[in-house]
């Protein structure tokens, strides 16, 4: 039994989404997690994740191991008490801690493959709920946007605690993703921002309101195919993220490089301070913007079409 899940990027609204403002995220299908579940010839539940050099039996993993806890959480949800014998192989092309949703994608693909194997296929809604529970175990107070966009694998308009909305893309557009290669310290940037917000609530509430407007206008622009409007919205969102102290010299440098190389707009994406930036480009310019990012020190780039 096989299942997979894509990576993701946040287009607009990261961080503000933690404070109940809307954010937009889209799947990135160029990178993905693929899980295969087979009968095992030997006793136990064997997990192979060559990318992280993991070849282990479930019971010998630490209790809080992210992969082990997904499996145990699913078994308890399905009411399975006698453990089957299984060989589980997890392969991922999603860079880790880069803001591309690698953890949520492992959980989604693993739950989907196991649930099907155990003849208990789950709805997307149920998978999303379970993965959100797991995200909370590892990331403190996540908004839930990562698990949602990755479970549904479609563009989502997301407000914390509300039913998510899938939105249509009126005209496809091209994004270049540039990875700083620096792990994004999500927990730290989220808690630093909380401290600042507590000290200066009015100021940050105003910033979040501005971002909420950006997300709303961006959604309308994407739905109506007016993607040329997105560049300025990205630039504006990036400057607000700088005000929120979640950018970094490297992210700012890559954003500037992308604009100088002809991108229509650019911003950091995800929790910031490391991780990724994204740039809106005319499709024919995608390769040259990606090349400029690499020359400026990006560790890797991904060109993705949002459609």
CB 13 within 8 A of CB 234: no
Other CB atoms within a 10 A radius of the CB of residue 245 amount to 13
State which of residues 146, 174, 266, 286 lies at the interface with ligand PMV (CB under 6 A): 146
Q: Does 143 bind ligand PMV (CB under 6 A)?
A: yes
Distance, CA of 307 to CA of 304 (rounded, Å)? 9
Residue 187 tokens, joined: 């927990």
What is the secondary structure of 252-285 as a DSSP string? HHHHHHHHHTT-SEEEEESS-SSSEEEEEE-GGG
Does the protein bind ligand PMV through residue 241 (CB under 6 A)? no
By CB under 6 A, residue 22 contacts ligand PMV: no
Closer to ligand PMV by Cβ: residue 61 or 108:
108
Residue whose pair of structure tokens reads 């808690």 in the numeric block: 191
Under the binding rule (CB under 6 A), the answer on residue 236 touching ligand PMV is no
Applying CB under 6 A, which part among 9-17, 148-156, 196-204, 228-236 lies near ligand PMV?
Answer: 9-17
Residue 105 binds to ligand PMV (criterion: CB under 6 A): no
DSSP helix/strand/coil, 79:
coil
| Total count of residues recorded for the chain | 307
CA angle 168, 16, 31 (to 5 degrees): 50
Among 4, 15, 151, 164, binds ligand PMV (CB under 6 A): 15
Least distance to ligand PMV, CB of residue 30, Å: 16
Which one is catalytic: 64, 87, 146, 192?
A: 146
Among 6, 7, 14, 131, binds ligand PMV (CB under 6 A): 14
Residue closer to ligand PMV, measured from CB, 99 or 265: 99
State how far the Cα of 12 lies from the Cα of 25, in Å rounded to an integer.
Answer: 7
Q: How far is CA 26 from CA 39, 98, 157, 254, 304, in A?
A: 34, 15, 9, 21, 10
Does position 251 interact with ligand PMV (CB under 6 A)? The reply is: no
List binders of ligand PMV among 264-293 (CB under 6 A).
Answer: 270-271, 275
Q: Which x/- pattern over 85-104 shows residues binding ligand PMV (rule: CB under 6 A)? A: --------------x-----
Query: 3-state DSSP call for residue 70?
Result: helix
Q: Is 179 in the site for ligand PMV (CB under 6 A)?
A: no
Distance between CA 207 and CA 217 in Å, rounded? 16
Whole-angstrom Cα Rg for the chain? 20
Which residue, 54 or 96, is less far from ligand PMV as judged by CB?
96
Minimum distance, C-beta of residue 275 to ligand PMV, in the bound complex (Å): 5
Residue 145 contacts ligand PMV per CB under 6 A: yes
146 flagged as catalytic:
yes
Residue 125, Cα to own-chain centre: how many angstroms? 18
Among 95, 142, 231, 274, binds ligand PMV (CB under 6 A): 142
Residues that contact ligand PMV, how many (by CB under 6 A)? 16
Among candidates 126, 200, 191, 125, which has minimal Cα distance to 164?
125
Which two three-digit tokens encode residue 94? 């999603």
Q: What is the set of active-site residues?
A: 146
Q: Which residues lie near ligand PMV (CB under 6 A)?
A: 10, 14-15, 17-18, 99, 142-143, 145-146, 184, 186, 190, 270-271, 275
């Amino acid at each position: 039994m096989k299942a997979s899940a894509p990576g993701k990027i946040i287009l607009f609204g990261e961080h503000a989404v933690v404070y109940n403002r809307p954010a937009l995220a889209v799947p990135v299908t160029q990178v993905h997690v693929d899980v295969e579940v087979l009968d095992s010839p030997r006793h136990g539940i064997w997990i192979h994740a060559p990318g992280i050099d993991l070849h282990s039996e479930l019971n010998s993993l630490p209790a809080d191991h992210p992969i082990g806890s997904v499996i145990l959480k699913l078994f308890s949800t399905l009411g399975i008490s006698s453990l089957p014998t299984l060989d589980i192989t997890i392969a991922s092309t999603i860079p880790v801690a880069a803001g591309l949703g690698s953890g949520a994608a492992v959980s989604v693909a693993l739950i989907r493959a196991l649930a099907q194997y155990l003849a208990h296929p789950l709805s997307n809604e149920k998978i999303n709920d379970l993965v959100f529970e797991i995200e909370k175990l590892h990331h403190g107070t996540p908004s839930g946007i990562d698990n949602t966009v990755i479970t549904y694998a479609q563009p989502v308009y997301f407000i914390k605690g509300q039913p998510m909305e899938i939105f249509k893309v009126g005209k496809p557009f091209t994004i270049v993703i540039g990875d700083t290669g620096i792990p994004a310290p999500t927990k730290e940037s989220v808690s630093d921002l909380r401290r600042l917000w507590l000290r200066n609530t009015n100021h940050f509430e105003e910033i979040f309101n501005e971002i909420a407007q950006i997300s709303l206008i961006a959604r309308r622009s994407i739905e109506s195919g007016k993607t040329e409007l997105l560049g300025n919205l990205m630039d504006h969102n990036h400057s607000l993220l700088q005000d929120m102290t979640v950018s970094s010299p490297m992210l700012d440098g890559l954003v500037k490089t992308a604009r100088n190389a002809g991108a229509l707009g650019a911003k950091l994406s995800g929790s910031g301070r490391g991780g990724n930036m994204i740039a809106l480009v005319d499709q024919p310019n995608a390769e040259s913007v990606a090349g400029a990012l690499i020359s400026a020190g990006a560790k890797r780039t991904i060109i993705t079409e949002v459609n």
